[in-house]
Chain A
Amino acid sequence: MWSISKIASLVHEWLSNTFSATWVTVFEMVIAGVLVISLFAVLGLILVMMERKVSAWIQIRLGPNRVGPKGMFQSAADTVKLLVKEGMTPNGADKLLFNVAPFLAIVVSMLLMAPLAFAKDFTLWDINIGVLYVSAISSVSVISILMAGWASNNKYSLMGAMRSGAQIVSYELSAGLSIMAIVVLTGSLNFNDIILSQADGWWIFKGHLPIWIAFIVFLIAVTAETNRAPFDLAEAESELTAGFHTEYSGMKFALFFLAEYVNVFIVCAIGATLFLGGWMPFHIGHWDGFNHIMDFIPSSLWFFGKTFFLIFLIMWFRWSFPRLRIDQLLNLEWKYLLPISMVNILLVTAMAILKWHF
């Protein structure tokens, strides 16, 4: 059967037979870069479309329905519009930082793509400390927002950036602690090890209540980290025009927009990997027949299915809940999520030592 990993190894073989080792590395880097960029484009189109359709259905509307069959090409048309728009730099702005910020945002999302396991035996960079790497790199994304907010020289932008900075810095803690729960159980920071440890059942089923708590805390924290409603007060339209990207237009705005959606994809992919088994098919204990049938569904489908399920969940949050105030936001983190996840990690550790999980 054809799988992504097989295609990858075939390409690698062909390249190593034709070129010298250095050129193989260079070519593979180029191929990986092109793949990541095209994945970005496709994800941007799909996620924007999905968001608009989901929001429409939740609000009993139709959503975009003019461009193409059922409006499916609306986001492509929007992309063209953004591409041909003029990218303005305001006069009073810090020109250098203003123009660097969107690229920093998108580069951070690209770096975050690297350790994800998209399918069985298919990772761009199977780094040993994947989980730590992800939480490290994602902490850089706040810098691009702070940079954009400052360089715009606009009070709304600065305020949005400040809010978003406070929000990301504080929610990183509980996101990290809930990720830590899984690391404690598996004893590894490597994404592939974590996935392999779920061969006999995903952690969400094996881990009892503490993992459920960790999962809920993780979902709330990553929703906040990606600046999405109900935690979107960094760009709260009704208060701050558009927050940190008020002054951005054209392609630079599009890059921020794209980075936001790709970040949603990435955090959902991480959530799916840690809690729902990544590309691991749905296995139940020792029902070998059942497990075997499940193995026939390709692993990449499992991965994308779970990821898109989580993305849908986050979109569902966005269109259900009203926006929080800044004090409510910080209360939620420091008075509720953080203490709960700290107690929770103690519970998980006890569970891991006593081997109470299945």
Chain B
Amino acid sequence: MYLVNYIKEVLSALRSLLIGMRRTLFYFTHHKEIITEQYPDNRATLKLADRFKGEVVMPHNENNEHRCTGCTACELACPNGTIKVITKFDITPEGKKKKAIDKLVYHLELCTMCNLCVYACPSDAIKMAQTFEHSVFDRNQLTKVLNFPDSKIMDGVE
């Protein structure tokens, strides 16, 4: 009985090895479906996966308006202290003071692309972009201001 089990064990081991080898042989003979991206040769046609996150950006519309209210929720949500929201007070036409952003400073070199700030934002003002060629010669260039100069908050966003 022991011997039968022994032989069975050896045969099943061989079988499983052969199954593994059949799989790799399949891949070996089907090298049409190569997954290698030949960057930078294919830079023009490069397609990134939807879930790829390159950096945090703030979309603006054609009137140079963004949706950020300056609530600092993103700053609080960020685990790395990447975002610094600098607020100011605008004077509305009715003469009231209203909180708005002066600068939304973003330190790319600290960001881990964790997406928490985007989740935290109540007014969908920021999102993740897919750019990834971030290398620069000077570290200071990695500190970015996300809102464009002279940009305003969109109407209707509170």
The secondary-structure label for the interface of chain B is helix
Contact indicator per residue, chain A 58-82, by CB within 8 Å of chain B (1) or not (0)? 1111100100000000000000000
B25–A57 CB distance below 8 A: no
Residues of B within 8 A of A59 (CB): 27
**In the complex the two chains form, is B27's CB within 8 Å of A316's CB?**
no
List chain A residues, Cβ under 8 A from B24: 58, 316, 319-320
Within the complex, which residue of A62, A317, A320, A321 is in contact with B34, where a contact is CB–CB below 8 Å? A62
Minimum C-beta distance from B6 to chain A (A): 8
Q: Hey, what's the 0/1 contact readout for A30-61 against B, CB within 8 Å counting as 1?
A: 00000000000000000000000010011111
Interface string of B29-72 (1 = CB under 8 A from A): 01101111010000000000000000000000000000000000
Q: Which residue of B lies closest to A312 (CB)?
A: B28
Residues of B within 8 A of A125 (CB): none
Decide if B136 is an interface residue (CB 8 Å cutoff): no
Contacts of B34 in A (CB 8 A): 60-62
- A123–B28 Cα distance when bound, in Å, is 35
Is residue B79 contacting chain A, with contact meaning CB distance below 8 A?
Answer: no
Q: Which residues of B contact A54 (CB under 8 A)?
A: 28
Given known contacts A57-B31, A320-B20, A340-B10, A62 and B25 CB-to-CB distance under 8 angstroms? no
Write the A213-227 contact mask toward B (1 if CB under 8 angstroms, else 0): 000100000000000
The answer to whether B17 has its CB under 8 Å from any CB of chain A is yes
Cβ–Cβ contact B28 & A58, under 8 A: yes
Chain A 297-336 per-residue mask, 1 if CB under 8 angstroms from chain B, else 0: 0000000000000000000110111000000000000001
Interface residues on A, range: 10 to 19
Report chain A residues within 8 Å CB of B114.
none
* Chain B residues within an 8 Å CB radius of A61: 34-36
Q: B21, A320: Cβ atoms under 8 Å?
A: yes
CB-CB nearest in chain B for A321: B20
- Among B10, B30, B34, B35, which residue has the most Cβ atoms of chain A within 10 A? B34
Q: Verify A60–B25 contact, CB threshold 8 A.
A: no
Chain B residues with CB under 8 Å of A57's CB are: 27-28, 31
Tell me the complex Cα distance, A340–B11, Å.
12
- Give the interface size class of chain B: 10 to 19
Q: What is the chain A residue whose CB lies nearest that of B22?
A: A320
Q: How far is the CA of A320 from the CA of B19 in the complex (A)?
A: 10
Q: Is the CB of A336 within 8 A of B10?
A: yes
A62 B27 Cβ-Cβ under 8 A: no
Name the B residues within 8 Å of A336 (CB-CB): 10
Write the chain B residue with the least CB distance to A220: B17
User: How far, in whole Å, are A135 and B130 apart by their CA atoms in the complex?
Assistant: 59
Q: Which residues of A contact B14 (CB under 8 A)?
A: 216
Shortest distance between the CB of A346 and any CB in chain B (Å) = 15
Least distance between A196 CB and chain B CB atoms (Å): 32
Q: Closest CB of chain A to B20's CB: distance in Å?
A: 5
Q: How far is the CB of B24 from chain A (nearest CB, A)?
A: 4
A58 and B36 alpha carbons, distance in the complex (Å): 13
Task: Say which residue of A60, A316, A321 sits within 8 Å of B31 (CB atoms).
Answer: A60
Known: A320-B21, A321-B20, A336-B10. A60 touches B27 (CB 8 A): yes
Inter-subunit contact A58/B27 (CB<8 Å):
yes
Determine the chain A residues whose CB is within 8 A of the CB of B10 once the complex forms: 336, 340
Instruction: Kindly provide the distance from the CB of B151 to the nearest chain A CB, expressed in whole angstroms.
Output: 44
**A62 near B21: Cβ-Cβ < 8 Å:** no
Q: Which chain A residues border B25 with CB–CB below 8 Å?
A: 316
Bound complex: CA A319 to CA B28 (Å): 10
- A60 and B17 within 8 A (CB): no
Q: Which residues of A contact B (CB under 8 A)?
A: 54, 57-62, 65, 216, 316-317, 319-321, 336, 340
Pick 25 A–B contacts, CB within 8 A, sort by A.
A54-B28, A57-B27, A57-B28, A57-B31, A58-B24, A58-B28, A59-B27, A60-B27, A60-B30, A60-B31, A60-B33, A60-B34, A60-B35, A60-B36, A61-B35, A62-B36, A62-B38, A65-B38, A216-B14, A316-B24, A316-B28, A320-B17, A320-B21, A320-B23, A336-B10
Interface set of B (CB-CB < 8 Å, partner A): 10, 14, 17, 20-21, 23-25, 27-28, 30-31, 33-36, 38
Given A57-B27, A320-B17, 19 additional A-B pairs, CB 8 A: A57-B28, A58-B24, A60-B27, A60-B30, A60-B35, A60-B36, A61-B34, A62-B34, A62-B36, A62-B38, A316-B21, A316-B24, A316-B25, A317-B21, A320-B20, A320-B23, A321-B17, A321-B20, A340-B10
